[in-house]
Amino acid sequence: MLTVIIALLVGAILGRFANSQVLKTNDFAFTLLSTLFVFIMGVSLGLCRSIFSGIGEMLFNSLSLAIVASLGSIILTRLLNKLTVK
Amino acid sequence: MIRLTIACLVGLMVGLFLPENLNIDFIFPMILPVLLFSVGLSMGNIDLAGSIRNNKRFLFFPILSLVGSCVFSLIYATLKGFEAKEIMLAGSAMGFYSLPAIMVSTKFGALAGTLLLVTNMFREAAVILLAPILTRLFGKQSIIAVGGATTMDVSLAVIKETAGDEYVPIAIINGLVLTIGVPFIISLFINLNF
């Protein structure tokens, strides 16, 4: 956690002095890295065979709760947007 | 946006054919700081303070997101006839599963802790894997709402990629407020009698 915050801060500080060429290269590197990150996330998910073989009700309940809780967050934040945007 | 979905699906296929006992989780802590450094670098040109000044309403974003999550978890618990407290604890963790799962396990046992852990892991995975779909269905802000506390680290890269640079400051504020606030909310719910 601390490592990622430090990485973000160091990046932000250095970003103030970066020229357009550096930023362009950074965008390209970011695209590659984010694709790699999501790919590895997919591999990791694929390795969890238990998810696919079904470990029962708990997984289903967790998934449905995650959907419902997320929906609650989405609805209320959309409401904020609707109420405050002129 | 399609690229990320394809990358995930290809990864999933590859994962299914790899030996099950293979552990690749050590790669995430290696890539994540590099990814966040890259986000920080592109953030250098963004006026964070100005962005907050111009979007003061977004300071309410994490609070409303948390309230929405809690209220809907309570409705879910009532409809399904579950223990309201355990469901609300799982719903209020906002994608932050490490510390809250330990707090809940200590007080209510492993099952409640696992429910919180898995629910919030699903939530985190949903942002990373379904960001393009969520954006299309509910708008760009929805990925920040779903991401909760993860929007300042794990899912920040995906938010930047899917919603754009202008949503990075909002995501960081949202993640920061929730990362600090969630452990307090969890301990409050643990000690409340309902």
What's the ipTM? 0.73
Do A63 and A41 share a structural domain? no
Q: Which residue of A has its CA nearest to B120?
A: A66
Given a cut of 60, is residue B183 above it in pLDDT?
yes
Q: A29 and A6 in one domain?
A: yes
Question: Do both A40 and A61 map to the same domain?
Answer: no
In total, chain B counts a number of residues equal to 194
**CA dihedral (B184, B188, B190, B191) positive or negative:** positive
Give the start-to-end residue ranges of the domains of chain B.
Answer: 2-8+32-191
Average pLDDT over residues B25-51: 76
- Name the phi and psi angles at B55, rounded to 5: -125, 60
Residue A6 has which token pair?
A: 């430090």
Quote the pLDDT of residue B179: 82
Instruction: Say how far apart CA B121 and CA B123 lie, in whole Å.
Output: 5
Rg (C-alpha) for chain B, rounded Å, is 17
- Considering only the beta carbons, identify the residue of B18, B44, B67 that sits closest to A47: B18
Chain A residues whose beta carbon lies within 8 Å of the beta carbon of residue B142: 74, 77-78
Residue B78 vs residue B193, higher pLDDT: B78
Residues A64 and A40 in one domain: no
Give the tens place of pLDDT for each residue, B111-168. Answer: 788 788 888 888 988 888 888 888 999 888 899 999 998 998 888 888 988 888 888 8
Q: Are residues A65 and A86 in the same domain?
A: yes
pLDDT digits (tens, 9 = 90+) for A26-74: 888 888 887 887 788 778 777 876 655 556 677 788 888 889 988 888 8
**Residues A68 and A38 placed together within one structural domain of the fold:** no
Closest CB to A15 among B44, B75, B126: B44
- Domain of residue A36: give its range: 1-47
pLDDT for residue B39: 77
> CB burial class (10 A; 0-12, 13-18, 19+) of residue B135?
middle
CA distance B117 to A52: 18
Residue B167 parent element (H or E):
none
Sign of the alpha-carbon torsion through A83, B133, A4, B94: positive
Mention every residue, 6+ apart, whose C-beta is less than 8 A from residue B152: A5, A8, B171, B172, B174, B175, B176, B179
Do A60 and A21 share a domain, yes or no? no
Distance from CA of B150 to the nearest CA of A (A): 11
Q: What local confidence, expressed as pLDDT, does residue B58 receive?
A: 76
DSSP-derived letter for residue B57 is G
Let me know: does B90 contact B73? Beta carbons within 8 Å. Answer: yes
**B1 has a pLDDT exceeding 60:** no
pTM: 0.72
| Termini Cα distance of chain B | 43
Q: Which pair of structure tokens corresponds to residue A48?
A: 């969890």
Contacts of B41 in chain A (CB under 8 A): 11-12, 14-15, 18, 22-23, 26
Pair (A33, A14) in one structural domain: yes
Let me know whether A42 and A60 are in one domain.
no
On whether both A43 and A60 belong to a single domain, the answer is no
Count of structural domains, chain A: 2
> Same domain, yes or no, for A33 and A70?
no
A17–B44 CB contact, under 8 Å = yes
Q: Name the DSSP letter for residue B81.
A: T
How far A27 CA sits from the closest chain B CA (Å)?
8
Q: Which is more confident, B180 or B82?
A: B82
